């Protein structure tokens, strides 16, 4: 009988310790998820065009100059379609070429730019196959 009581107390203590450990791990994981990794913003009005934002993001390559710049994310990932990512402005599709988007938006109106790659871009289906560049503008309340 004493052996069963000891075993029960031991299992209860083990369960309590493992639950406390998993809860703290979950909270740490949540804190890590809430901090976006691929977000670039312009706090000091340094950027002159959209390409200046994108040059700061790891895995994004900019080639060319002026409006003829080409943006690729992690190299070429499509054979049949173009190689440039999908561009979104405030959640709406703005185009698939840098020139289209750069002509539509004033760089001073950009709040931040976030680049989605791989599985994060899968929410946009085939259009997001080459990555997604999300541009969020400043809103006036």
| pLDDT of 97 | 87
One domain for residues 47 and 65: yes
One domain for residues 13 and 51: no
Domain of residue 101 covers: 39-137
pLDDT in tens, 32-66: 444 355 566 655 567 778 888 888 877 788 888 88
How many whole angstroms separate alpha carbon 9 and alpha carbon 86? 58
One domain for residues 54 and 2: no
pLDDT at position 133 over 80: yes
- Reported pTM: 0.64
What are the structure tokens assigned to 82, written together? 């173009």
One domain for residues 53 and 66: yes
Among the listed residues 22, 113, 36, the one whose alpha carbon sits nearest the alpha carbon of residue 101: 113
Q: Identify whether the C-beta of residue 71 lies closer than 8 Å to the C-beta of residue 102.
A: no
Q: Report how many helices (DSSP H) and strands (DSSP E) the chain contains, helices first.
A: 3, 7
């Amino acid at each position: 009988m004493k052996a069963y009581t000891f075993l029960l107390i031991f299992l209860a203590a083990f369960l309590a310790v493992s639950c406390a450990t998993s809860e703290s791990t979950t909270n740490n994981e949540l804190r890590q998820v809430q901090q976006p990794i691929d977000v670039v913003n312009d706090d000091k009005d340094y950027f002159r065009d959209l390409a200046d934002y994108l040059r700061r993001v790891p895995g994004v390559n900019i080639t060319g100059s002026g409006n003829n710049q080409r943006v690729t994310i992690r190299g070429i990932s499509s054979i049949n379609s173009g190689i440039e990512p999908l561009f979104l402005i405030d959640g709406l599709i703005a185009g698939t070429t840098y020139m289209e988007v750069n002509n539509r938006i004033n760089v001073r109106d950009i709040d931040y730019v976030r680049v989605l790659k791989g599985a994060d871009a899968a929410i946009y289906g085939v259009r997001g196959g080459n990555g997604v560049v999300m541009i969020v503008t400043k809103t006036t309340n």
